[in-house]
Chain A
């Protein structure tokens, strides 16, 4: 095994092409324990953190470009970002302890493709786009086009994520993310819910609801979104959205939760997230 820290995207791309069995990494918070346990033994470990573009955060022309290897701690500590995307910021801040926060990145969270990744529902709810380094240059895709199943992505051999782009949060719009874990920290989401709402006064003008850890990939709940648009968030509407969220789940039983539990709590979190996002959208906390 060899460690290399390229300083340009081109250099990284060449390393991947030239070395079969090589792996890119940013925080490697999942990869290093796997290597220790003797599972994958990459030929070359390509550290992306010394490529400026992969760790830079820029905000201009009505949008954001966020390097794929940017530590999530740097995002949650960025007041402009955290104010504009409170839900996405909170989701990013839930990936592990403070120690992990200084390593974990959206790039790693998306490329690992864990169904329970906290940033993913919030990224999808905010229509995050991904710029990918490919053999021929770069290509762009939506986050939900990248993740195809547990641990599975549409990234080809030699491809890696360079950066994420987000359009500025429009007026009257905000987001929220909640998850349930057995403890209060240091757990993997049993259920996660990311919501983005645009409010026209008390009425929902647009909605995106994305659930995590309840299906092989994060899922959008179109039925719940449809139930909301044009309505106020009264009890009946919230109950309808929650029910639709529960119905959309396709979870598994595992050491972290049961099918029944995930289904039921998906509805609860959806409802709670909607209220938080609506409050933020209406009161301009976004």
Chain B
């Protein structure tokens, strides 16, 4: 279902062609990083820390280096010390520990050998002597007075900081008179929420092949959301100029934010440089869980005041995000994500807190789900207590254009109200709640970003076009680029070949993150197409001997009054005679990213004897601005919803007392399986973003924000228990039922 505001008429935008890269993906031909092999290639295996916090006293690699097939061994000593002030310092230390390990699983050494088995044997022969240091794992322990210092190089940002600290960021925001507003409120609800660390859970482990040549230049093939960032970070960690590294993005097997940073590429590059042979690294699933990306655990206290007729008058929140062993702005971003309701009086205090856990990484709407779980739960409790329909309460307080976020940023044209109305009018919400079940509602927001993008468009001599961008395609963005180019050029979408080029074949492009690709890279594609069209109009004008101002572009042809249209194919065929090849490039720093709101509705049943929750029906409505390829917009809504449902119900990092991960496998880190779920119904709301030529807002992020509160709110209505800790797994739900 699609709810559209004044829908423009497009030929291609909004259609659902088969994606161009799909054929290779259903036949097994698509090349992911682990599928690539180079002649003479070595395999590398890591040695990882068995301690959560320790000083490395010594590393003896002699025995390993003498073993059969071993060609190179690296430790922290093989990488330069960038100095703590360098923006890539944390990445460099996370990639390979120097004198200290900061978490269980931190990389300490790596071996390249002629086979993975020989490399593993040699890695096992490396002897590392550690001196254990005190470690902390929780927000409470890390923030306690006298807590051991997690990372002596961390100084708190955004405040004056003379001493290292376990706080990476502190953010304080305030507007209105919160205390007065609470005193005047008819109803005040205050609760504390906690969430466990969760992993992005992409099915493809991190992988790369790197060939460092005799000229000292490294060619990198890897799985990444942003190969330009791989280039800059890899070069920085190696102490190289950026131009020494060329990165070609392989197909990427999922990222969700977790592949916006690097782990393995500089290690492979250094090993390759030392061995003079290409080096391949493929992480094991165990390594992925232990040493990459989780999203932070959190603790959030929320207090909301309301009038009896459901006006939300005040919000006070204390938020802390457990970001692992390195600095991170999760707390700031969490504060930025508070933007859904007007809240005339507001006070926020947000912290990014270090602990001896893996360096946390972005995960779909980073930091927003934690805050929304808390705020949307409390808002819903207010609706319950005031006996107001949860959608009506939200409509009464929903932010609209001109309202400001917690950060004080005024919203541009947004579609929150439209999303609420779309769910309210949906067949799902209008239908009775099934017997034995209950229904939950929650909303979510993500601001989305613009950033830098480049695109090159060639019109080929046969009248087809090639669209080249620098944005790795993690969910179908090549099809979206082709659709926008088809719309501009007036070509059939199947006459367009969309490609993602390496770092030397297309202009600089920021990472695929923040729902920016269809928005910003799409803008670059449209701009390049328009430049091409101007060129083709000009050539047609010359051919027709008319002024270029008299030539318009319509339906894939240059049209001048009194002349037959000159189709793109004939302009292309004539290009040698009219000035040479037809090509245009555009690069931009996109402004005007459109925030995207989502509203979810879920029906579920709780088995009150076992605490098991079964989701029976689920609907996700989200403002896409304009859906370029609606199938992949739906896919983003569905995928985000299910990641959120997993986060809500079963996903969590389970730590042993020593800070090691007890469930580093897909068996015990329980992402949803097909039989856990119903169909995920979608409602694409289209409130066009005025800053984009087709009205695009990013859609990737927001879908993960509402599910946790949607599930919690439904459980509350089903069983009379207010779940305040994630995951809401059967043991936790049964405990709450027992205490009811």
Contact = CB atoms under 8 A, between A and B. Distances in A.
Taking the complex as a whole, does A directly touch B, i.e. does some CB pair lie under 8 Å apart? yes
B670 A261 contact: no
B723 to A, nearest CB: 15
B649 A185 contact: no
Given A182-B729, A186-B667, A264 B676 contact: no
B650 interface: yes
Interface stretch (A14-22, A44-52, A64-72, A250-258): A250-258
Interface residues of B, number: 26
Interface string B700-740: 00000000000000000000000000000111001100100
A258 B731 contact: yes
B675 A255 contact: no
Contacts of B286: 37
Contact of A183 (B662, B670, B738): B670
A97 to B, nearest CB: 9
A268 B610 contact: yes
Interface string A243-285: 0000000000011111011001100100000000000000000
B609 interface: yes
B670 A255 contact: no
B672 A260 contact: no
A128 to B, nearest CB: 26
B740 to A, nearest CB: 14
A255 B735 contact: no
Nearest to A97: B673
Contacts of A254: 662
Nearest to A254: B662
Nearest to A188: B667
A182 B649 CA distance: 8
A38 interface: yes
A184 B675 contact: yes
Nearest to B654: A255
A187 B610 contact: no
Contact of B667 (A180, A187, A258, A264): A187
A107 B153 CA distance: 55
Interface string B518-544: 000000000000000000000000000
A150 to B, nearest CB: 16
B652 to A, nearest CB: 9
A183 B668 contact: no
A183 B672 contact: yes
A60 B176 CA distance: 84
Contacts of B124: 38
A261 B730 contact: yes
Contacts of A38: 120, 124
A93 to B, nearest CB: 13
B397 interface: no
A203 B675 CA distance: 37
Nearest to A264: B734
Nearest to A37: B286
A185 B609 CA distance: 19
A185 B730 contact: no
A123 to B, nearest CB: 23
A261 B734 contact: yes
Contacts of B667: 186-188
B424 interface: no
Contact of B735 (A182, A188, A260): A260
A265 B734 contact: yes
B673 A182 contact: no
A264 B649 CA distance: 20
Contact of A261 (B662, B675, B676, B731): B731
Given A255-B663, A256-B668, A264-B734, A184 B673 contact: yes
Nearest to A261: B731
B265 to A, nearest CB: 24
Contacts of A261: 611, 730-731, 734-735
A256 B612 CA distance: 13
B734 A185 contact: no
B243 to A, nearest CB: 39
A184 B735 contact: no
Contacts of A255: 654, 662-663, 668
A184 B670 CA distance: 11
Most buried by A among B124, B663, B670: B670
Contacts of B609: 265, 268
A265 B730 CA distance: 10
Given A255-B663, A255-B668, A185 B675 contact: yes
A257 B650 CA distance: 12
A147 B419 CA distance: 58
A256 B663 CA distance: 9
A186 B610 contact: no
A180 B673 CA distance: 16
A65 to B, nearest CB: 32
Contacts of B654: 255
A162 B17 CA distance: 56
Nearest to B665: A33
A255 B651 CA distance: 11
Interface string A12-38: 000000000000000000000000011
Nearest to A255: B654
Interface in A180-202: 180, 182-188, 190
Contacts of A188: 667-668
Interface string B76-106: 0000000000000000000000000000000
B135 to A, nearest CB: 20
Contacts of A268: 609-610
Contacts of A257: 730-731
Interface in B97-124: 120, 124
B734 A182 contact: no
A118 B577 CA distance: 76
Nearest to B662: A255
A187 B673 CA distance: 10
Interface string B669-713: 010110110000000000000000000000000000000000000
Contacts of A256: 668
Nearest to A272: B609
A258 B611 CA distance: 13
Interface centre among A182, A190, A254, A256 (most CB of B within 10 A): A182
Nearest to A267: B609
Interface in B602-651: 609-612, 649-650
Residue among B609, B672, B738 facing the most chain A CB atoms (10 A cut-off): B609
A143 B243 CA distance: 66
Contacts of A258: 731
A180 B612 contact: yes
A187 B670 contact: yes
A182 B670 contact: yes
A186 B646 CA distance: 14
Contact of B650 (A37, A183, A185): A183
Nearest to A242: B609
Interface string A89-131: 0000000000000000000000000000000000000000000
A186 B673 contact: yes
Interface centre among B610, B662, B729 (most CB of A within 10 A): B610
A254 B731 CA distance: 11
Contacts of B738: 264
- 5 closest A-B pairs by beta carbon, nearest first, are A261-B731, A255-B654, A184-B675, A268-B609, A182-B650
15 contacts: A37-B286, A38-B120, A182-B649, A182-B650, A183-B650, A183-B676, A184-B675, A190-B730, A254-B662, A255-B668, A260-B735, A261-B735, A265-B730, A265-B734, A268-B609
Interface of A: 37-38, 180, 182-188, 190, 254-258, 260-261, 264-265, 268
Given A257-B731, A260-B735, 12 more contacts: A38-B120, A180-B730, A182-B650, A182-B670, A182-B729, A183-B673, A184-B673, A184-B675, A190-B730, A255-B663, A256-B668, A260-B731
